[in-house]
Structure 1
Amino acid sequence: MRVKTEKKRNEIIGIAGELFRSQGYGAVSMATIASAVGGSKGTLYGYFPSKEELFAAFVVTAGHQRWQEFIAFPDKAGSIDAKLKALGRNYLRFLLSDEIMSVNRLVIAEAVRFPELGRIFYENGPRSVIGVIAATLEQAAQAGELNIADPTAAAWRFKALCEARLFEQYLWAIRSSVTDAEIMENVEPACMIFLESFRA
């Protein structure tokens, strides 16, 4: 029995990810992936029992480095104003990165025919983002800085405010780069509007 290794697993994910990006989820079969990897379908299924599980691993791996950068915002003990600005800035850097945007476009293109992709992406992406934002808002509410009854609902509002305009421009390939100054031009009014609604 062939011993599974982390190196081989990562190789499979990398090759499958490139195929998903270039050809689309539906056009890529496990046989295609196995051929590109240079092994048998049996070996591939030994690592990933289904294409859905392989796609989930691709989503997680594609965003891993960017995710670490997103959650590493400083000054967690500072004011809610500073925390929201840092959180919004890091979120937009995360969202607009090439890695995350390519997965977003892939899921949007294929989700109608393959609804499982939307679920996989949501569970491994937006749901985790909302969890981080909601936890920050809940802490601020407990500290008396915000008046929020439902941190999760408020997190969705904050996320949408930060995304305004820039996300659509990236998604539709109207633009492909953004400066930190342009990110803050989105984040600062988003924070102001949010705090006007929820500041205690």
Structure 2
Amino acid sequence: MSDTTVLAPNAPARPDTDSPKRREVIEGARRVFFDKGFDGASMDEVARAAGVSKATIYAHFSSKDELFEALVLSERNRSAEHLFEVDPAVQDIDGVLRHIGVSFMKMMVRPDHIRLIRMVIGVAEKFPRIGFSFFDAGPNHGGRRLGELLREETARGRVDLQGEDAVEVAHLFLNMCNGNFVKAMMFTGAPPPAVEDIEAVVDRAVRVFLASYGRAA
């Protein structure tokens, strides 16, 4: 069975989509894809890395691109778990936005995350579904979550969105936090920025954001 073979219509039903064995396969795939890249990875190598048979992999995933898509979603979900958790002890909107911005950027500049972005870009033309999954589970998900928070802050009277779409405003803030860090790492191989550099850019983004949407404005 080749790496891109699709299961026949009469193939047995797939096992539980969150079973321990499936997670083992994804973890093995993570090691292989991050080491070899999408084109260089094979299902045989994934089977060895996961400690399972190749038949077990195909019981869960019909092809290498489907397995990679599952890895993409797993990585994004794992990164987003704590991203928008706000400490209830933080009462000022400046502190809330700063926490979100710094957490977001620490995740964005992880070397593994940069490698994942490069792989997704490399396969998105051939497998546009993977690109869409990455975009929806990543940038779009972050914008939606922060948009919800901004609506809550508007109801509390701490933010004034001035009638603008909350999700669009959320993307504006996250893009300001991004600065030029991710592009520099992707295209020049620059090392991850120091935490203090991330904090400086995020602090500037918070000031600019609140100058337009803060209640004091």
Q: TM-score range by the shorter chain?
A: 0.7 to 0.9
Unpaired stretches in structure 1, ≥5 consecutive residues: none
Q: TM-score, normalised by structure 2?
A: 0.77
Which protein has the larger Cα radius of gyration, Structure 1 or Structure 2? 2
When normalised by structure 1's length, the TM-score is 0.83
Separation in 2 of the partners of 1:93 and 1:73? 16
Q: Which amino acid in the other structure matches residue 8 of structure 1?
A: K
**Which of these residues, 170, 174, 179, is aligned with residue 159 of structure 1?**
174
Q: 2:185 aligns with which of 127, 149, 170?
A: 170
2:80 alignment partner in structure 1? 67
Counting only pairs closer than 5 Å after superposition, residues 16-165 of structure 1 correspond to structure 2 as 16-28=29-41, 30=43, 33-34=46-47, 37=50, 40-75=53-88, 78-148=91-161, 149-165=164-180
Fraction of identical pairs, as percent: 25
Amino acid in the other structure paired with 1:185 = A
Q: 1:29 to 1:127 in 2, by over 3 A?
A: same
Deviating beyond 6 angstroms after TM superposition, the runs of 4 or more aligned structure 1 residues are none
Moved more, 170-179 or 35-44: 35-44
Q: 1:98-154 deviations in whole A, cap 9, x for unaligned?
A: 332221121122222322221121122222211221112111112222222311100
**Structure 1 residues 60 and 101 mapped into 2: Cα distance closer, same or farther (>3 Å)?**
same
Structure 1 residues 26 and 117, CA gap change in structure 2 (3 angstroms): farther
- CA distance 1:140–1:107, change in 2 (3 Å): same
CA contact (8 A) 1:75 1:82 kept: no
Aligned length: 199
Q: Which runs of 5+ in 2 are unaligned?
A: 1-11
Report the residue type matching 1:157 in the other structure.
Answer: L
